[in-house]
Amino acid sequence: MSDVLIRVPAVLRPFAGDASELRVAAGSLAQVLERVAVRHPQLVPRVLTPDGQLRPFVNLFVDRTNARALQGLATEVPAGAVVSILPAVAGG
């Protein structure tokens, strides 16, 4: 299987057609997000700034590793990997 799985947190599901999981072809994290944006154009602006940087209140994990600790959006996401979007959540 050449896809990666993207886990969409509840707070962002309204921008992903209420999907909790998406599948797109593998590539760099930036490419993965571009492929997501084709189908869900409202979702990616919640994750990236207009100039394409990762927003400071969102973390992207490739499997269990924070992309910030890898090569950021240039991180290669291999087929079969899971990308988890983890936004800051304040509810208590």
List of residues contacting other proteins (CB under 8 A): 7, 9-11, 20, 46, 55-59, 61, 64-66, 68-69, 84, 86-92
Count CA atoms closer than 13 A to 66's CA, side-chain side.
8
Which CB, 30 or 58, lies closer to other proteins? 58
Rounded least distance, CB 72 to other proteins, Å: 13
Six-digit token string for 4: 């990666």
Rounded least distance, CB 15 to other proteins, Å: 10
Which CB, 25 or 57, lies closer to other proteins? 57
Distance CA 65, CA 20 (A): 20
Which CB, 25 or 89, lies closer to other proteins? 89
Please give the DSSP secondary-structure letter assigned to residue 44. Answer: G
Q: Is 52 left (phi over 0), alpha (psi -120 to 50) or beta?
A: left
